[in-house]
Amino acid sequence: MKALKIQNVEKTFGSIKVLKGIDLEIEPGQFLILVGPSGCGKSTLLNMIAGLESVSNGNITIGDRDVTHLDPKDRDIAMVFQSYALYPNMTVKQNISFGLEINKTPKDELEATVAKVAKMLQIEPLLNRKPKQLSGGQRQRVAMGRALARDPSIYLFDEPLSNLDAKLRVEMRSEIKELHQRVGTTIVYVTHDQIEAMTLGDVIAVMKDGEIQQFGSPQDIYDNPKNQFVAGFMGSPS
């Protein structure tokens, strides 16, 4: 069974087709990168997987369930955005456990989950702080903690590091990679950054103008780019 299957998915805004028949499949535990220039349709595709945008045509399957027309809350996904979107009046601990409280998780289980996630992300000393008392990197860690606490079958990341400074971005990049290796979760990760794509991805889909130009391993795409766009964008030697 595939972790995620996208079949001939299209998106039309008004009269403009911004996604033109996307086909993608990933295995459980794979780290998929959607990379391409600004405006090529990465966020739209991710939002459709999340259920935040409707699908104009085609099908999306998560595990063995067709989720094409399901509510976001019924899709077993968790999303981490570029802006951290933490609740400003809640503590770090409350931010992490909020989704679980809504799901009526028993209190001891909730405490154990928060403790586990905090340890994983090394934010234990921050649990009683409010978001405004955190640095950008710490906030992004809390946002990831909130996603991890929900233990979904797929994590969706939309340029989660692009608001961070260069040094922190490199640091968080290796943290995300390490986390993926340790926890073994399925991730779909949007970025316009080629280096991020090459270092994080097990598989990469290079997009342009609402179409996938090439799908493959980082090595394969770098060594054997299918066309000039892919070569240029991914920085392959000519």
The site for Mg ion (CB under 5 A) is made up of 43
Nearer to ligand ADP, 44 or 113 (CB): 44
Does 213 sit near ligand ADP (CB under 6 A)? no
Task: Please name the residue that has the structure tokens 């996630």.
Answer: 117
CA atoms within 13 Å, Cβ hemisphere of 228: 0
- In DSSP notation, 24-86 reads EEE-TT-EEEEE-STTSSHHHHHHHHHTSS--SEEEEEETTEE-TT--GGGS-EEEE-SS---
Smallest gap from Cβ 121 to Mg ion, in A, equals: 24
Among 42, 146, 150, 180, binds ligand ADP (CB under 6 A): 42
End-to-end CA distance of the chain: 38
Smallest gap from Cβ 122 to ligand ADP, in A, equals: 30
Among 3, 32, 41, 96, binds ligand ADP (CB under 6 A): 41
Nearer to Mg ion, 40 or 221 (CB): 40
Does 54 sit near ligand ADP (CB under 6 A)? no
Stretch that binds ligand ADP, among 41-49, 57-65, 81-89, 214-222 (CB under 6 A): 41-49
A 10 A CB-CB count for 218 gives 18
Question: What Cα–Cα distance (Å) separates residue 174 from each residue in 91, 112, 157?
Answer: 26, 26, 15
Does 21 sit near ligand ADP (CB under 6 A)? no
Smallest gap from Cβ 190 to ligand ADP, in A, equals: 6
Does 15 sit near ligand ADP (CB under 6 A)? no
- CA 53, CA 60: separation in Å to the nearest integer? 12
The residues that touch ligand ADP, with contacts defined as CB under 6 A, are 13, 18, 36, 38-44
